[in-house]
Amino acid sequence: MFARITAHSLRRAGSILLLASVLSACSAVQSIDTPAENGASAVAQASAAPSASASAAAIAASSTQASVAPSAAESPVANTTDEQAIIASIQETLDLYAKAYNDNDPSLLAQVVDPKNGPMKRYVQTRFENYQESIFGGQGGFEYTVTEVEPHESGFIIATIERSGLQAKWTFREVNGRWLMSEPNEKQLGERQKVESEHFTFYMYPWTKDVNEKLMQQMDVAREQVLEKLGKVPDLKANVYIKPTFGVGAVTSPNTLAFYDRNSRAGDRIVIAAPNSYVFPFYDASAGWEGDLQTTLTHEYTHLVNNRSFTPISRMSDWMVEGLAEYVSDPTSARSRGVPAAVASDQIIPIMDTSGQVNKQDLEHLTILEQDVGLAYGFAFTLVEFINDKHGGMDGFWKLVQSYDQKQNLPAAIQEAYGISYEQFDQEWRAWLEENYG
């Protein structure tokens, strides 16, 4: 799988660190996150969810409609009949959730999650363990505020949660008079739909009908952006799966906006996390979720085009794969990821680590770096930018890629493609960095 590590996420690493366990083909990157980070054609049934100003009676009525819990058991009849009471109950749950992190007390987690929802329990527990094992474990400072609630189907409530200017929307279900963290099961999501557009085949659920059409439109924008930069895209339609919850479909790490999966048994595909799911990262409330997601979708679609229409990703160096995707999707990548500061302090991540250590800390091994992953994405971007500027544009880049594909040795590929040594190429790149980002 390929998943883009967003710069927005990493800018807040001092207190909120990204968890994006990126598996297999591309980004085998593992970072750690707190529970609060971050940072087409129409769908016939698409409609807006009820507004947050829905009456307490409407919320209560929606709550009492639940007959099937996220497990096979029946949902308890809702007891809460007042919107403010629902908000207060969700806030109590969030306070306990924050306390579990602040006090390093995993026993509190059982009090905040739906006890009959196995995937949700696993999600909450694993996320907590990953955070506590990170260098940020035990630092505390967690605080969440619920600002709005909206009734959804099957008795669920979608709550708007804020922390430090960031926002997310999480689902809650009433269990024995308390509103707990939960998600619908596959039956409650509705029957999965297959929707064909001109360039994509989408797989989606009625549960996410309020965002499905927007996500389809964003994929069309991604295609247009990649076509403009690379000059061609595949004729064959790409499969796109809109993942509505953590517990349905492929296992996805928290704070994953989207990823390219080239190893799916059904063929390669792009998987998008629904904005109202727990997996989707917190986002800037003033800007909305669309911006970061658009950049990520363009990044992931670049991987698909790269793999299908140019050179197989498995035959390319890590920095080539991720640098190209950043170059196509985000022209601000180098600056937003801290490259200027790293250049100024002489902390440039090397293209090749010649220290002899087993765990290489270089751009050739970007997907398995132990630190500075976001910065590495920025430097990979600069390498593609440098080649475009000094070695023949995109034609020059693909010339190097093709040579590397054949030789699987970067110095030899550089010598063949550009007629210079790796050492000279590296010196030129570093001088170019000083000129453009120093």
Structure tokens at 58: 């409407």
Report helix, strand and coil shares of the chain as percent, to nearest 5.
45, 15, 40
Which residues touch 215 (CB under 8 Å, ≥6 apart)? 40, 202, 240, 242, 272
Q: pLDDT at position 134, please? A: 74
Class of domain 2-42+190-309: alpha beta
Domain with CATH 3.30.2010.30 in the chain: 2-42+190-309
Whole-number Cα distances in Å, 146 to 95, 120, 171? 10, 20, 12
Per-residue pLDDT of 232-285, as tens digits, reads 999 999 999 999 999 998 777 776 789 999 988 889 999 999 999 998 989 998
Report how far residue 184's alpha carbon sits from residue 275's, in angstroms, rounded to the nearest whole number. 15
- Has domain 56-188 been given CATH number 3.10.450? yes
Task: Provide the CB-side half-sphere exposure for 30 (13 A, CA).
Answer: 7
Q: pLDDT at position 359, please? A: 83
The runs of H, that is alpha helices, within 103-198 are 118-133, 186-189
Percent of the chain with pLDDT strictly greater than 70:
81
27, 94, 13, 12: which is closest to 303 by C-alpha?
27
Contact 100, 109 (CB under 8 A): yes
Mean pLDDT of 4-10: 52
Contact 11, 39 (CB under 8 A): yes
Binned at pLDDT 50, 70 and 90, residue 150 comes out as very high
Binned at pLDDT 50, 70 and 90, residue 371 comes out as confident
Phi and psi at 395, nearest 5°, equal: -60, -40
Query: For 62-66, 332-336, 370-374, 424-428, which range has the lowest pLDDT when averaged over its residues?
Result: 62-66
pTM: 0.81
Q: pLDDT at position 215, please? A: 98
Query: For 15-24, 95-104, 151-160, 246-255, which range has the lowest pLDDT when averaged over its residues?
Result: 15-24
Q: What is the DSSP string of 255-283?
A: T--EEEES--TT--EEEEE-TTSSSSPPE
Q: pLDDT at position 6, please? A: 57
Binned at pLDDT 50, 70 and 90, residue 356 comes out as confident
Q: pLDDT at position 139, please? A: 83
Q: Output the average pLDDT for the chain.
A: 84
Per-residue pLDDT of 315-352, as tens digits, reads 999 999 999 999 999 999 999 999 999 999 999 999 99
Contact 212, 49 (CB under 8 A): no
Q: pLDDT at position 81, please? A: 58
Q: Indicate whether 397 pLDDT > 70.
A: yes
Binned at pLDDT 50, 70 and 90, residue 36 comes out as very low
Q: Indicate whether 386 pLDDT > 90.
A: yes
Domain with CATH 3.10.450 in the chain: 56-188
Q: pLDDT at position 59, please? A: 34
Which residues touch 387 (CB under 8 Å, ≥6 apart)? 396, 397, 400
310, 330, 323: which is closest to 225 by C-alpha?
330
